[in-house]
Each structure stands twice: as C-alpha cells, then as structure tokens.
Chains A and B, each alone.
Chain A
Amino acid sequence: MIPLLQTLLDGLVLGGVYAFAAVGFSLIFGVLGVVNLTHGVFVVLGAYAALLLHEVVGLDPILGLPLVMAALFALGYLYQRTLIAAAVERASLVASLLVTFGVALMARNLLQIVASPDVRSIATAYSFAGLSLGPLRIDLVRAAGLLTSLVLLFGLALLLNRTAFGRAIRATAQQPVGAALSGVNVRHVHGLTFGLGGAFAGASGAVIGMMLPFTPSSEAAWTLNAFVVVTLGGVGSPQGALLGGLLLGVIATLTAQYVGPAFQNAAMFLVLVLMLLLRPQGLLGHAFAASR
C-alpha cells in the first residue's frame, strides 16, 4: 500500500510541474490558434536562465522567477509581433506551424553552441533535503517546485478571470473582430498573450531545472509534453492544463513503477491515442470553443 501511495504522490508532484510546463502552450493555442512548436525552447531557455542566475549571481531559481519570466515575456512578445504575426497574416495559421518548427530547430542548435550539449541541472543548497509525510517522502526541491507551479497556475487563472487584461484576452480568443470593435488592440493582446505563454514556459523551465536534468535538446520533450497535457485536459485554461498534467504525471510514474521505466512513453501515447479516439477536445474541452 505504501509504495502505491508513494508512487501516486510522486506522480501528482510531477504532474503539477507537467501542468505548469504546458499551460503557456495551452493559452497560446487557445487564444491565437497557433500551435507553438517553440514552446519547449522557452521551457529550456528558462532552465538555462535560472542556471545562469544561480551560478553567476547565486540567485535561487524560485527567487529568480520574476527575472526569468520578465525576460521570456519580452522575448515571446517580440517573437509573436514579428515572425509569427507575419506568418499568420501573410499566409495562414498553418504557416505558423512551419515557422515555429524552424525556429525551434535553429534555437536548439544555437543553444548547443552557446551552452554546449552537456547535461545540466541546478543544484541548490536544499537539493538533497526531504520532507516526511508519515511514511511518505517528498524531496524538498520537488515540494517547492510543485508549490510554485500551483501558485502560478492559480495566479494565471485569477488573471484570466478577474482582471481587465484577462477579459481582453478571453474576448479576443472568443471573438477577435468583436473585441477589436470593442476597443481592444487585438494585435497587442495577441503579443501579450504569447509573452505570457512564454513567461510561464520559462518559469516552468526554472522549476524543472531543479528537479530534472536538461540539455538543449530537451526542448522537443517539453513541446511534446505540452501537446499531450493539452490533449488530455483541454485547451485554453489553467484548469484544463492542471487536470491533464496531473493525469499524465500519475500515468507516467505508475507505468514506470509497475510496468517498467522503458514503457513510460508507450503508456503516454496509448492514453493520447485513446483520448483522441474517445474525447478529442480533452476532458474539460476548449475554453473558448463554443464561439469557433
């Protein structure tokens, strides 16, 4: 019984971070309709930025989150307003798939030159400390990562549902022409939404960097993770990402524990295919779909 509970706990912790790592992708897809294949690059950039801050300035990755998020927000905004907007406006949404794919390839190779292809991880002072919950154990780093993920996911939900900026984002997602006629600067909101997605991806990267090893080519895995999470949970909302992330985390750890670590990806794709067959819109559906 205890090993099962421990596995479930590990899965939920991992799942919370998976959700955090996917929510930016989900938001961008839900609002702009752009499948951002550069998503994993933003995650990995966040990890390297946190590593840099930690090694050069000695800043804890979690305390450094505001800096990482601000930098990747700016990067995301500029990226959308230039390359992605040009692709979508001159050609189509599908063109953005090609553009983001190409940029991801280039960014990964550039990162391999700048940061080397070596495996990195961020070792904080509390990296080897743990907490005990009765017979269950959780690493302090993972607990901190999970807490950070949940707080920021909750913060994003509040931002979307309770603020004027959030209303502008939802209005733009549901009805862009109606939003423009209501005085919303739709292009700016698209840029800001992309920036927000990039900031959350980067923040998740900083947290992931403390928990898991990473290399420049990890970006592909994190884009894939986002894809699966969104397919499971549903597009466009932090709630959907959280549900999808937790499910994926539990499935991954249960499989690793009881079937074998080699079968993790197989189980993930099995669930993905089942989901696409049974409920392609995800468990919570598309947050803005009724208007599409």
Chain B
Amino acid sequence: MSSPPILRAEGLRYAYRGVPAVQEVSLSVGEGEIVALLGANGAGKSTTVNMLAGVLRPAAGRVLWRGEDITGLPAHRVLERGIALVPEGRLIFPQMTVMENLQVAGTAPRAAADFSRRLDEILAIFPRLAERRAQPAGSLSGGEQQMLAIARGLVARPELLILDEPSLGLAPMLVRAVFDLVRDLNARGITVLLVEQNLHQTLRIAGRGYVLEKGRVALSGTGAALLDDPYVRQTYLGM
C-alpha cells in the first residue's frame, strides 16, 4: 500500500435474523486509492459497506476512520466524518425533483455552508441532471438515477466515496461512463471504495481489491495481481 490507511475495518460480522451474511471481513483503504470490493451475489459486499457507512450496526468488529472508532455510529454521523455511501439500488427520493433530492443532502451540516457553490460544481459534472433539475427523480432513466445517486453522495464533499454496484442494470455504454466518472472523481482527490460484480472493468481502474466469498475475504491484492490470479480467472472470469 502506497499511503497509510484512512479507513480500516477489523473483523466485521453481521447476520440477518440468524443467517450470517458477513463472517469475518477486514479491509483497509488508503488515502487517494481506488479499492475494489468484489464477489458474487450474496458474498456479503453490500452488508459490509452498509456497516462501514452506518446503515447496519456490526455484530462484531470495529470500523476505524482516521484512527477514530466509528463503529455503530448512525449513517448521518458517519457522513459528517466524510464517508458517503451511494447505496445499491440508488435509494433516491422518487417523488421529489432532482433538485430537491440534492437539497436534502445539502442540509447536512457538512454540506450546508457552501451548498450553492457545491451544487454548481456538481451540476457541471452532471449536465444531464442540470437539464432535468425540475423533474421528479422517479421519472429519470436508470442511468440518470444512478448519476443522481452519485451526485447526492458528492454534495457533502466526502473524502471517501463508497459506491455499491453503480453499474448494476446499466447498458454497457453507461457502465463505461460510470467507470470513467469514478476514475475522474478519484483524480479530483476523492478516495473510492468500489463494490462490483464486474471484475474486469473494476480491476482495470482499481489499485487494489478484495474478493469476498461467503462473508469472508477470500483473496486480496493489487488489481493486476488479482486479474492474473488463476483462481480469480477461473471462478469469476471464466477463463
């Protein structure tokens, strides 16, 4: 790892009504990195990031952010620390306009001070959303809804952006746009933790990655090493 970790998760565990989803996950993310969290459906990726962002409270383990223990803090307080999660399924507010969706995020203390300037920056990154600012978010296409979810996550100027399957259900062209965007945001100084099933494209932009299997870290390493790993190639790339 090139830089000291800003986020560390140690021994995270979670079960849904007695059914274990995450058994033992430890990972770290360094400042400025793009780290991939990979694995098949049901491997525990979303559960893991939901624990990192405060949506779920871990049954065991710790989450450390810049050395501070933030385990079990509710999501809005994790956001105040500078960690934003763009959740699986987007979870936008469908009956509110695009603008209102962003305004909700703009009320967070971390975002409120310079919201209007931040809004201009964000609408410059997402011209599509600027055009549709007065439309109900539920009327947007899937790709536009994903853009809105990412835009909403950026309002509070996060230091770490966690994206949970942003390419899910998008057309191949849009998938590429999402990956380009992630790389672009990272170039602007945002650290990224990217949850994906799409190994090939993800490992191309990610410096490092973790592969989850049945709620545990099965493998970890640099993007290139994982792409060359015979086990990964066989299991996930079908080669």
Contact = CB atoms under 8 A, between A and B. Distances in A.
B53 A181 contact: yes
A236 to B, nearest CB: 10
Contacts of B156: 183
Given A164-B107, A167-B107, A171-B104, A180 B76 contact: yes
Contacts of B93: 170-171, 174-175, 178-179, 291
Nearest to B53: A181
A167 B94 contact: no
A171 B108 CA distance: 13
B91 A183 contact: no
B103 A181 contact: no
B96 A186 contact: no
B139 to A, nearest CB: 10
B91 A175 contact: yes
Contacts of B86: 181
A178 B87 CA distance: 8
A132 interface: no
Contact of A183 (B95, B100, B107): B107
A291 B101 CA distance: 14
A257 interface: no
Interface string A265-292: 0000000000000000000000110110
Interface stretch (B14-22, B77-85, B118-126): B77-85
A164 B103 contact: yes
Interface residues of B, number: 34
Interface in A161-177: 164, 167-168, 170-171, 174-175, 177
B138 interface: yes
B53 A170 contact: no
Given A178-B87, A184-B104, A171 B96 contact: yes
A82 interface: no
Contact of A170 (B76, B87, B96): B96
A185 interface: yes
B50 to A, nearest CB: 9
A139 B152 CA distance: 52
A136 B107 CA distance: 50
A275 to B, nearest CB: 23
A248 B80 CA distance: 47
A187 B107 contact: no
Given A167-B107, A168-B107, A183-B105, A178 B76 contact: no
Contact of A184 (B55, B91, B94, B107): B107
A291 B89 CA distance: 12
A79 B93 CA distance: 28
A186 B76 contact: yes
B153 interface: yes
B63 to A, nearest CB: 16
Interface string B203-216: 00000000000000
Contacts of B80: 183
Given A170-B96, A290-B138, A181 B107 contact: no
A290 B94 contact: yes
A177 B91 contact: yes
A186 B104 CA distance: 12
Contact of B85 (A175, A181, A287, A290): A181
B8 interface: no
Contact of B109 (A164, A180, A181, A183): A183
Contacts of B87: 177-178, 181
B192 interface: no
9 contacts: A171-B93, A174-B93, A178-B92, A183-B79, A183-B80, A184-B107, A186-B76, A187-B74, A291-B93
Interface of B: 53-55, 74-76, 79-80, 84-87, 90-96, 100-101, 103-105, 107-111, 138, 152-153, 155-156
Given A167-B107, A168-B104, A180-B54, 8 more contacts: A167-B103, A170-B95, A171-B101, A177-B75, A178-B90, A178-B92, A178-B93, A183-B111
